[in-house]
Structure 1
Amino acid sequence: MDEWVYFAGLYESKFEAYCAVMWVEADDRIRRTARPTNVEIYRTRKGKYGVRFSRQEAGVPTATSV
């Protein structure tokens, strides 16, 4: 079962949410404690967009980091 971390804020457009995805993937404050994986944009019932990601704890090897 995936545990999702929801990034703060909802956005009016998918482009704004995509910019937030780029920030999440590049942010050292997030990557220092846990590397974000499966970053995705989701849409709420009211039509706004949000960003969520599952994360892997630092120091735990994966098939992609080997």
Structure 2
Amino acid sequence: MDEWVYFAGLYESKFEAYCAVMWVEADERIRRTARPTDVEIYRARSGKYGVRFRREDAFVPANKVLT
């Protein structure tokens, strides 16, 4: 999949957007549904910051333990 996924919301500061990046990465690892790749912060025309990423579609069943 080569499409960008835009994380909901825009943030006033780059720091707030960076915190959202950490949340996206941690959430995807916890759920083990897909791995985010190419996570980045972008600046919207309004001057606010947003987060976007690409997903690596690697489904891992919830009951399977990764080692």
Larger Rg: 2
Other-structure match for 1:16 = 16
Instruction: Give every structure 1 segment of 4 or more consecutive aligned residues whose post-TM-superposition deviation is greater than 6 Å.
Output: none
Whichever residue aligns with residue 10 of structure 1, its letter is L
TM-score (ref. length: structure 2): 0.77
TM-score (ref. length: structure 1): 0.78
Q: Secondary structure at the match of 1:33?
A: coil
CA deviation after TM superposition for structure 1 residue 21, in Å: 0.4
Segments of 5+ residues of structure 2 without an aligned counterpart are: 60-67
Segments of 5+ residues of structure 1 without an aligned counterpart are: 60-66
CA distance in 2 between counterparts of 1:33 and 1:44 reads 28
CA distance in 2 between counterparts of 1:2 and 1:35 reads 13
The structure whose residues are more often strand, as a share, is: 1
Task: Give matches, 1:1-66, under 5 Å.
Answer: 2-27=2-27, 28-29=30-31, 32-59=32-59
Aligned-residue RMSD, C-alpha: 1.4
Identity %, equivalent residues: 86
